[in-house]
Chain A
Amino acid sequence: MRDLTENILELIRLASTDLPPDVEASLRQAVEREAPGSAGRGALETILKNVELARQNSTPICQDTGTPIFYVYYPEGWSTRRLRDQIRSAIAEATARSYLRPNAVDALSGRNSGNNLGDDHFPTIHFEEVAEDALRIDLMLKGGGCENVGAQYSLPNSALGAGRDLAGVRKVVLDAVHKAQGKGCAPGVIGVAIGGDRGSSYSASKEVLFHELDERTPDLELAALEDRLTTEANQLGIGPMGFGGETTVLGTKITNLHRLPASYFVSVSYMCWAYRRRSMTVVGEVVSFA
């Protein structure tokens, strides 16, 4: 099996230092919506200057390089054990090269491992065997500030008047965006999962964030709810960094899972504007990045 460590290192560098084009384009549109001279517009202008500088200098867009979350889709015949070793080596090297901040902290001793390698869950790596010939690795770097404002609701929720239907989902998601204020580094992108158990629901609310901003869910009812939530979240007026303004979120992505009769979870993952996700594909000898 070939060694992909160098390629994975490049994937990490790209993710940390080069914001995806769809996110940058969305931020550029957001600037135009904010009033000239407002603090919100100033924040977005600084954000865009930072995005350009990070790309040019190959330095992290944000100092919180987050939890590295990998999804590996591999054809039959690859060794997941070796792929895991290669990912972990690449993570340690990326940390040594300052593409990543040492972020793995022992929850009991408080000790930082110094190289971003923790237990089996740090970095987070999901493996899935696929029928295709190509191997694909998706990577998301999700910072702690936005992770901390994620929320999970068990419906019905009488305080919010939220029942077990999409009208109820709408209410709890708006509540989550309100509670987040600017703390998740607004304008963010909202990942929502309806259903599942507590664990699978939260995971799905992050997985949906791997899709590009203009990719739509095929479910027309969910697509309509995504649009409505984006519009209404922006009506809250929280604005960039919570300074007030027109753009509180850049988009909303919703997915759904089967649930138990007794449970109706709605999980909300908030992704900060520094929406760092990249992908690499290996077909034969050719490795490409997106």
Chain B
Amino acid sequence: MIANGSWGFAATDVMDNDSIARAAEQAVAIAKENSRLLIEPVRLAPQKGYGEVSWKAPIEKNAFEVPIKEKVDLLLGVNDAAMKSGANYITSLLFLVNEQKYFASTDGSYIDQDIHRIWPAFFITKIDAASGKFETRNSLSAPMGMGYEYLNVRPQDKIQSVTTLYKGRYDMLEDAKAGGAQAGEKLKAKSVEAGKYDLVLDPSHLWLTIHESTGHPTELDRVLGYEANFAGTSFLTLDKWESKKFNYGSKLVNIVADKTQVGSLGAVGYDDEGVQCGQWDIIKDGILVNYQTIRDQAHILGLNASQGCCYADNWSSVQFQRMPNISLQPGKEKKSVDDLIKGVEKGIYIIGDGSFSIDQQRYNFQFGGQLFYEIKNGKIAGMLRDVAYQANSQEFWNSCVGIADASDYRLGGAFGDGKGQPPQSNAVSHGSSTARFNGVNVINTARNLG
């Protein structure tokens, strides 16, 4: 709540009238106490009340209605498949969420939402006992805003590449079998020679690069300095947006924010300030055109309404600006992954997400992956290991020279998008087709402990 122009927040899990009233009193007391530290009062963009409304994720099969035995059998089958194909160890899990959220505001909104999310995942380790070396291979699934139907895979949901990839559905057993064998292949793979490479990045990998280097720097709270003490600020300062000519990426790069995308983690009907959600451009033909905003930031961009990016991860967490789904739009010309690889003389094709790190203003990043394949003269030439690439966000996105068409478009995402103090976790998806980036700096990550 807002009192004396200042935010105050309190939460309790005791649901009797006295406790609820005490929490409200605490929130008001905190707001009033802190108002002496304000430079200017909170200015909220106007928001009409929607009355009593509801939103429900369009799922086909509620994961919570699937018998536990069926889930246990699936996971034990996954473990068995990986072990039979060469894994030494595997941990598998089904992370299932049904969030039932009720929101009420003095604007006159009473919003009931029923949100479903699913993440089937495994983590495989393969060990060469004699040398003591080990390698890992994680699942290539995406966490999704879907029900249990995500695990009901159909022939049209598979993409045949150097390994089977999945589009909108996921075959956990098949991926575990492949993963067990690939963990062993990784142990025998050639260690990469450091240098410049053209990278062809699968959506199962590229989602994380989008998340870190596009999603976070376009959060308006970071741009303004509200995250300076923890998550950091942003290189995408307001003057770059105001210039209308800041080349964030090449002309091929179009990035869209979307809180309504079906099957995505971030899809809801309304945000946690009672704003109906929508879709808008962030990067248009390579130019920075917009940010992610909430009600008390809208006036800074000259907007008279919020973009609906407010989120609290729990009833006991204060709502604040969080990332919507942020996705790279597919290439407009017909282009396959093979077409992208064909044109590469010296490159690496990367599948799956791995290690990730980026600075507090989102310039310098480093990413690993799950599977790395050397590309020589337009052809896949075998597996590599010890690969990570480093780049500057703007240089990287300007080196984007090809994006596969919409037939290759897939979602990736994360449950653990962290920001805020106390830290909160956001669930967000990032879609893309496979894309090519030229001349990226690749390092070799092998070391020896002696």
Are A and B a genuine interacting pair, yes or no? Answer: no
- A residues with a Cβ closer than 8 A to B are none
